[in-house]
Amino acid sequence: MWGFHDHSLSMRKALNETLITSKPNNSLYRRWRWTQSVQNKKYGLVFSEQEWNEEWRSLLRLSSAEPRVSQTKSSDLNSSIDEINYSKSSQTNTDLPTKSSSQSTRQYYESLEEFHVYVLANNIRRPIIIYSDTILRTNDGEAISPIEFGGIYLPLEISPDKCHKQPIFLAYDAAHFSALLPMEQNSKSTSKSNLYSIFKY
Quick one: pLDDT band at residue 122, thresholds 50, 70, 90?
very high
| Distance between CA atoms of residues 16 and 144, nearest Å | 29
In this structure, is residue 153 part of a structural domain?
Answer: yes
* Tens of pLDDT, residues 138-192: 888 888 888 889 999 999 999 999 999 999 999 998 888 898 887 776 665 555 5
**pLDDT value at position 106?**
75
Same domain membership, residue 126 and residue 37: yes
For residue 131, being part of any structural domain is answered with yes
Mark whether 90 and 126 lie in a shared domain: no
Q: Verify that 98 and 116 share a domain, yes or no.
A: no
| Residue 32 sits in the same domain as residue 53 | yes
Domain count, the chain: 2
- Domain match, 56 and 139 both: yes
> CATH number for the domain including 124?
3.90.70
Flag whether 51 is in a domain.
yes
Residue 146 lies in a domain: yes
Helix boundaries (H) for the chain: 10-21, 27-42, 49-62, 73-92, 101-104, 114-124
Top pLDDT among 24 and 88 is at: 24
Nearest-Å Rg of the Cα atoms of the chain is 22
**Cα–Cα distance for residue pair 83/90, rounded to 1 Å:** 10
Q: How far apart are CA 20 and CA 17, in angstroms?
A: 5
- Note the pLDDT tens digit of each residue in 78-116: 444 444 444 444 444 444 444 544 455 678 889 999 999
Q: Please give the C-alpha separations between residue 59 and each of 115, 128, 201, in angstroms, as whole numbers.
A: 9, 20, 32
Q: What integer pLDDT is reported at residue 199 of this predicted model?
A: 52
Residues 118 and 55 in one domain: yes
d(CA 29, CA 34): 9
Q: Is the pLDDT of residue 24 over 90?
A: no
Domain limits for position 97: 73-104
Average pLDDT of the chain to the nearest whole number = 80
